[in-house]
């Protein structure tokens, strides 16, 4: 079996190589590097055109479906600017309104660079030693009590279920 594979591969390599040397009736070779290059460029351009067209149509379908389901429109093209500035103590601030007392810079965010990650560590709920070692600010201890954290997790689960429900509605509406 091993020798048959070597023989088959050798025949294929010789066949493809001969296509560069065997001439058509018009004197041109059956295969050349310029033909391969030009064909690959054409195929790449066609694939890019198809993929961008498909992406545009999918984005339009999802936006339309979400607007019909939620009744809301989303600012995809012109999002609100985000401003940043540094105060006298060297602390950086980010806001959707510019600094009233000084100079602010507009921050350009690329949506493709933003990642939302689910938090896996729930040690704070059990009151473990790991959570006790975390330094908490002293200005708002009522935020860290177990009832508010449990309510936060319950609200997050409700939001997750609602998002999944809406995703299913969008999928059934758009036929994906």
Considering the domain boundaries, does residue 18 fall inside one?
Answer: no
Considering the domain boundaries, does residue 121 fall inside one?
Answer: yes
Mean pLDDT value across residues 76-101: 80
Considering the domain boundaries, does residue 122 fall inside one?
Answer: yes
6 pLDDT above the threshold of 60 = yes
Asked if 102 contacts 85 with a C-beta cutoff of 8 angstroms, the reply is yes
Q: Is 124 helix (H, G, I), strand (E, B) or coil?
A: helix
Q: Give the CA angle between residues 72, 78, 82 to the nearest 5°.
A: 105
Considering the domain boundaries, does residue 140 fall inside one?
Answer: yes
What average pLDDT is seen over the chain? Answer: 76
Query: Would strands 82-86 and 105-107 be described as parallel, antiparallel, or unpaired?
Result: antiparallel
Considering the domain boundaries, does residue 76 fall inside one?
Answer: no
Nearest Cα neighbor of 74 from 86, 84, 83, 66 is 66
Considering the domain boundaries, does residue 152 fall inside one?
Answer: yes
Mean pLDDT value across residues 134-141: 50
Q: Could you tell me the residue range of the domain that residue 120 belongs to?
A: 116-176
Separation CA 173–CA 176 (nearest Å): 8
The model's pLDDT over 18-46, given as tens digits with 9 standing for 90+, comes to 888 888 888 888 888 888 888 888 888 88
139 pLDDT above the threshold of 90 = no
86 pLDDT above the threshold of 90 = no
Q: Is 140 helix (H, G, I), strand (E, B) or coil?
A: coil
pLDDT at 131: 47
Considering the domain boundaries, does residue 24 fall inside one?
Answer: no
Asked if 123 contacts 131 with a C-beta cutoff of 8 angstroms, the reply is yes
- 105 DSSP 8-state letter: E
pTM of the model: 0.26
Mean pLDDT value across residues 90-111: 82
For the chain, how many structural domains are there in total? 1
Considering the domain boundaries, does residue 125 fall inside one?
Answer: yes
């Amino acid at each position: 079996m091993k020798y048959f594979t070597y023989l088959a591969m050798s025949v294929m390599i010789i066949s493809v190589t001969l296509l560069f040397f065997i001439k058509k009736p018009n004197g041109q070779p059956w295969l050349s590097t310029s033909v391969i290059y030009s064909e690959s460029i054409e195929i790449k351009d066609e694939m890019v055109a198809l993929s961008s067209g498909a992406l545009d149509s999918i984005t339009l379908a999802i936006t339309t479906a979400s607007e019909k389901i939620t009744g809301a429109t989303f600012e995809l093209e012109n999002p609100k600017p985000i401003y940043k500035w540094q105060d006298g103590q060297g602390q950086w601030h980010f806001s959707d309104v510019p600094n009233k007392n000084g100079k602010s810079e507009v921050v350009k965010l690329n949506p493709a660079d933003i990642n939302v990650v689910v938090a896996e560590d729930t040690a704070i709920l059990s009151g473990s030693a790991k959570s006790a070692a975390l330094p908490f600010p002293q200005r708002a201890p009522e935020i860290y009590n177990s009832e508010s954290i449990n309510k936060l997790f319950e609200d997050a689960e409700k939001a997750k279920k609602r998002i999944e429900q809406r995703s299913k509605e969008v999928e059934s509406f758009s036929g994906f």
